[in-house]
Amino acid sequence: MNPRYERWRWITFGVTWLIYATFYFTRQAFGVAKVALGDDSRVSLSREDLGYIDSAFLVTYMLGQFLFGPLGDRFGPRRILLFGLTLSVVAAVATGFCTTFLGFIAFSILQGVAQSSGWSNVNKTMSSWFSLRERGRVIGWWCTHYTVGAAVALPFAGWMMTLFGSPGTDVDGQPRIVPYWPAAFWGCATVVAVVGVVAWFLLRSRPEDVALPPIEDYHGEPKSLLEEEIEEGEVAPDGSWKLVGDVLASPTIWMLASSYFFIKLARYSFIFWGTMFVAEAVKSDPFTSALIAAAMQVGGVVGVIGCGYVSDRVFQSRRAPAAVLSLLSAAAIMCAGLWEINDPYIMAGFFFLVGVFLFGPDSVISATASMDFGTKRGAGTATGIVNGIGSIGGILGGILPAKLTTGGNWTALFAVLLIGLTISACLLAPLWRTKPPTA
């Protein structure tokens, strides 16, 4: 074991974990702020307007996945990630000054571009530092970034709004704190800026950038068939359009992407509308609503770690079985949403279980499996494609809740999520026995 190599591996693990965790601060700020926008007389947005703003973010986020995945393969993920972090800070700060629908749309689009640089490029970085045999376990722990990040970001944004709020009264004339919604954006932007500075000093795209051998040489592992063909001149090198074409031609990548469409539909419905669902059902303030909704992210920590271990240890690096079983469980849990939940503790338990069974297959499909089947060289492109197609589902996750919950009735939305998650499991089922190709 090389102490210097190991040190750089875990620095990379930590920095990429921080980067993606803090992306969720600026990503989720609007989901919390929308609860308090009605208290600002300068802002006049309907429920459907809020859905359109979410969708503006998600459309550009989806399109950016197809751009920044290949760009990360060509130019290196470090450059792309630093660009994305900087742009995210700028967009969040600017959003805090918005009062018009078009202003929110414009800076949501900018935030979508910034956020789309993240997933494929943190995955590209990790695939260069961690080998196939350890990815299920390592990526399971690593994928806690977006569960922990979101779990902390939600109450943090709510706390910032309350901290800088002003005294006021509710509809019954009782005293309360009127949340200051711009503080959610500015506080979250500060967190992302700090992590951007850390990334500037510590992030390296691959072992070769610090004079270390490739991870396969270090671990003595066989290279993927695709990488051996590259060395023999049969396949184009990193970032080339030929390699992009090879990834696009993989039926497995498209099966993963199709399944991920429905997972993201469900996840983003909860991300963008979960806090409002809690506020309307439990009649709680923004901070409490965000705290209850954050239970999903806590459950997600359990889900991503557990699903990674099960796929490695029980199913011998086959990713589909663990994902299929979790998705069917998540679909069953959606049945609870068909009935009214107004107890805060039951609501927190519901969100926790959603996180356990939704975030596990999310991480396995969008990270581990995409790395495995895209290979180290095409990992950025593969994860970009899978996450890009999935983000089309995410777009619906932004707009469907606004359309289906008019009048405060959420039953139709949970029925759609139940059906979608069942379809997602069925799409993965043909991959039950499939393993990544190795020499």
| pLDDT tens profile 216-274 | 787 776 655 445 544 555 545 444 556 566 666 677 788 888 999 999 999 989 988 89
Average pLDDT in the 18-28 region? 95
**133 and 219 in contact (C-beta within 8 Å)?**
yes
List CB contacts of 286: < 8 A, sequence separation 6 or more.
32, 35, 36, 158, 161, 162, 179, 275, 279
| pLDDT tens profile 320-337 | 888 999 999 999 999 887
Q: Which two tokens stand for residue 35?
A: 């609860």
pLDDT of residue 439: 34
Q: How confident is the model at residue 292 (pLDDT cuts 50, 70, 90)?
A: very high
pLDDT of residue 230: 47
Q: At what angle do helices 144-163 and 251-282 cross, to 10 degrees?
A: 30
pLDDT of residue 378: 56
- In this structure, what DSSP letter does residue 168 have? E
Measured distance between the N- and C-terminal CA atoms of the chain, rounded to whole angstroms: 24
- pTM listed for this prediction: 0.74
Tell me, which fold does domain 3-204+218-431 have in CATH?
Growth Hormone; Chain: A; (1.20.1250)
Q: How confident is the model at residue 299 (pLDDT cuts 50, 70, 90)?
A: very high
DSSP string, 141-208: HHTHHHHHHHHHHHHHHHHHHHHT-EEEE-TTS-EEEE--THHHHHHHHHHHHHHHHHHHHH--SSGG
Average pLDDT in the 103-111 region? 96
Q: How far is CA 81 from CA 72, 195, 256, 363, in A?
A: 9, 11, 24, 20
- So where are the chain's domains? 3-204+218-431
**82 and 200 in contact (C-beta within 8 Å)?**
yes
pLDDT of residue 225: 44
| pLDDT tens profile 54-92 | 889 989 988 887 888 788 888 899 999 999 999 999 999
- Residue 180, pLDDT > 70, answer yes
Higher pLDDT residue, 353 or 375?
353
pLDDT of residue 368: 59
Q: Which helix (H) or strand (E) holds 415?
A: helix 411-428
Dihedral over alpha carbons 268, 92, 291, 55 (to 10 degrees): -20
Angle at 75 between CA 74 and CA 81, to 5 degrees: 120
Q: What is the largest CA-CA distance in the chain?
A: 76
Higher pLDDT residue, 153 or 173?
153
Q: How confident is the model at residue 181 (pLDDT cuts 50, 70, 90)?
A: very high
| pLDDT tens profile 368-417 | 555 555 455 555 667 677 877 888 888 888 888 888 887 778 889 999 99
Closest CA to 385 of 370, 368, 369, 364: 370
| CA gap 76, 367 in Å, rounded | 18
- Least confident span in 99-113, 139-153, 257-271: 139-153
Taken as a whole, the chain contains a residue count of: 439
